[in-house]
């Protein structure tokens, strides 16, 4: 099976809408919508390829770009290795030079289009934040716990995992969710009594043990599903059952588990390289590690006290 190496670019307008292009009928996967881009030619770097492709397809001159992620997708007759770049600065108004249809689309409306399989995975990577806060796992409703929770409500956190090692009262979870909604924060439930039918959340986070027992996604597609993993095999299993993202840990030595051997940056990067879905690094993380984490292609960092 041949492997095709390609690049695509993420262009945003002043309304933060994303530009997508429709593949022509005579093309492979004709009629599907995708990010603009194309194949890497012999002797080209990825950056050179995306700059050339966007000039040829859209008539724009790219001035500044940053790497977003690489994903691998297997079709029946080919494998596509796709490198995605954020186009941060460009000149000229994009238009379909090759008579291809283009459209500026709000991120929340992308699923209304007939998207390439790689696009569906890409949506998670651009809508998820770079920080994932995990609540302390005990003493819920205590003054200390509520103080930390309220502090996050007034920070830049937009994704939160309510973690508990004991069953929590539904009314308490609903109260937490209501506060999160008021502050534009998405709440994922990680409790021992979760049913995946709760209406007072934006999704669920499953433990490694729970994930390994599953053979398919346990919740609806319109909810988020995160999974805790500790090695590449577990991360691949989480992706296979339909998780929207994984948390890999421990990347570095932690104070809470000093005797646990950390994965290290290289092994954590291997997980990122082998997965299509977003990956958060957990364990010994701090805000100072965020930039390095993203440079390795991860979505960002997760933690209880990391930020």
* Distances 169 to 55, 142, 194, 207, 297 between C-alpha atoms, Å: 56, 14, 11, 20, 38
What distance lies between CA 123 and its chain's CA centroid?
A: 8
Are 148 and 268 within one domain?
yes
Let me know whether 216 and 253 are in one domain.
yes
Q: What is the mean pLDDT of residues 293-299?
A: 90
Domain shared by 189 and 274, yes or no = yes
Whether residue 145 is found in the same domain as residue 294: yes
Q: What is the pLDDT of residue 301?
A: 97
The mean pLDDT of 262-278, rounded to a whole number, is 93
Same domain, 247 and 163: yes
**What is the band of 232 on the pLDDT scale with cuts at 50, 70, 90?**
very high
From 123, 154, 186, give the residue that closes a domain: 123
Give the whole-number percent of the chain exceeding pLDDT 70. 100
Asked if residues 296 and 286 have their Cβ atoms less than 8 Å apart, the reply is: no
Q: Which domain-ending residue is among 123, 148, 172?
A: 123
**227 confidence band (pLDDT: 50, 70, 90):** very high
Please check whether residues 109 and 246 belong to one and the same domain.
no
Residues 39 and 118 reside in one and the same domain: yes
Considering the domain architecture, whether residues 101 and 152 belong to the same structural domain is answered as no
Last residue of a domain, one of 123, 151, 181: 123
* Residue 215 · residue 232 · CB < 8 Å: no
Q: Which domain holds residue 187?
A: 131-303
- What's 72's domain CATH number? 3.90.79.10
pLDDT at 26: 84
Q: Let me know whether 209 and 264 are in one domain.
A: yes
Is the torsion defined by CA of 121, 126, 130, 135 positive or negative?
negative
By mean pLDDT, which of 15-24, 185-194, 254-263 is the weakest? 254-263
Residues 178, 293 within the same domain: yes
- 77 compared with 147, residue with greater pLDDT: 147
Whether the CB-CB separation of 85 and 48 falls below 8 Å is answered with: no
250 near 282, Cβ under 8 Å?
yes
Residue 281 CA to residue 272 CA, distance in Å, equals 10
What is the number of structural domains in the chain? 2
Do residues 204 and 69 share a domain?
Answer: no
CA angle centred on 140, ends 136 and 142, rounded to 5°: 110
Helix (H) or strand (E) holding 211: helix 208-212
Q: Residue 209: what pLDDT? A: 97
Does residue 93 sit in the same domain as residue 213?
Answer: no
| Dist CA 302 CA 285 (whole Å) | 7
Say which residue, 117 or 47, is predicted with more confidence.
47
Q: What would the pLDDT profile of 105-164 be if each residue is shown by its tens digit?
A: 998 888 889 988 777 777 878 889 999 999 999 999 999 999 999 999 999 999 999 999
Residue 285: band (very low, low, confident or very high) from pLDDT cuts 50, 70, 90: very high
Residue 157 sits in a domain whose CATH number is 3.20.20.70
């Amino acid at each position: 099976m041949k492997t095709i190496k390609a690049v695509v670019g993420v262009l945003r307008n002043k309304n933060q809408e994303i530009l997508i292009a429709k593949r022509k009928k005579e093309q492979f996967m004709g009629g599907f919508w995708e990010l603009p881009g194309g194949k890497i030619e012999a002797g080209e770097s990825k950056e050179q390829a995306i700059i050339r492709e966007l000039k040829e397809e859209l008539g724009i001159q790219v001035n500044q770009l940053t790497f977003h992620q690489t994903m691998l997708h297997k079709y029946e007759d080919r494998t596509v290795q796709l490198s995605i770049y954020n186009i941060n600065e460009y000149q000229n108004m994009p238009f379909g030079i090759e008579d291809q249809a283009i459209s500026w689309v709000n991120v929340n409306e992308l699923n209304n289009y007939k998207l390439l399989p790689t696009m569906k995975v890409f949506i998670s990577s651009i809508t998820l934040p770079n920080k994932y806060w995990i609540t302390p796992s005990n003493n819920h409703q205590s003054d200390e716990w509520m103080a930390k929770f309220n502090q996050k409500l007034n920070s830049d956190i937009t994704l939160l995992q309510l973690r508990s090692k004991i069953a929590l009262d539904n009314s308490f979870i609903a109260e937490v969710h209501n506060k999160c909604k008021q502050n534009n924060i998405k709440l994922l439930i990680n409790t021992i009594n979760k049913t995946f039918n709760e209406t007072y959340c934006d999704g669920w986070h499953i433990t490694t043990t729970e994930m390994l027992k599953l053979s398919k996604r346990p919740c609806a597609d319109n909810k988020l599903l995160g999974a805790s993993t500790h090695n590449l095999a577990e991360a691949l299993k989480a992706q296979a059952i339909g998780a929207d993202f994984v948390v890999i840990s421990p990347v570095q030595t932690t104070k809470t588990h000093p005797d646990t051997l950390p994965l290290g940056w290289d092994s954590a990067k291997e997980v990122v390289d082998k997965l299509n879905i977003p990956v958060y690094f957990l364990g010994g993380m701090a805000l100072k590690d965020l930039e390095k984490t993203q440079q390795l292609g991860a979505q960002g960092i997760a933690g209880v006290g990391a930020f």
